[in-house]
Amino acid sequence: MLRILLVSFVLFGAAEKVGAGDTATNAPTILVFGDSLSAGHGLANGQAWPALLERRLKAEKLPHAVANASIGGETSAGGRARLPAALDRFKPAVVVVALGANDGLRGLPVAQLRDNLVAMVRVAKAKKARVLLVGMRLPPNYGSPYTEEFARIFTAVAKQEKLPLLPFLLEPVANDRANFQPDGLHPVAGAQPKILDHVWPALKPLLKPR
């Protein structure tokens, strides 16, 4: 079983950061829509995994741009309210939905999380965007009934909506305290390439032309 070091944290802090997708371009855009784990809390500009994704795309000679509309502290309800405007702004070809951690850490009802995730997926699909759903896992101190039900929500939504699923964003770094900043909550810059390498195999198939 994966031993999660994030024992009691609340995701907070980072303001919105937007990459190349905020500029005028005809390139297809990947919209990263998450919380502080994707916004790059505590990191310099260009260090978070979505910024590294831009570099990966260039190295792979793929035409896509990246818009990182992640905000620290965001819940699925906040994301649900905010997503339509982001879709209109960036007109993404692909949306990476990486929300839900703050719902779990605040003990919010998992049924609410499911409803919000489904709503975000469907509004993105209605705009003809492909969607990658990125899940999270909770620390064991939240109790096995809640943590297990929380984890199952991402799988259930992905199955229902026929989506690719990355079950746990932090899987490659969660076992090592050295991968985290002094707050014990947010991955350091050196852990970001590992996160990107974890995301990439799930994301790359969505970048193929329709």
Averages of pLDDT over runs of 10 residues in the chain (210 residues) are 36 43 70 97 96 97 98 97 98 98 94 98 98 94 94 98 98 95 91 98 95
pTM for the predicted model, two decimal places? 0.90
Let me know: does 65 contact 20? Beta carbons within 8 Å: yes
Catalytic (active-site) positions = 36, 183, 186
Show the domains of the chain with their CATH numbers. Answer: 20-204 (3.40.50.1110)
DSSP 2-54: ------S-----PPP---GGGS---S-EEEEEE-HHHHTTT--TT-SHHHHHH
Q: What is the pLDDT of residue 10?
A: 39
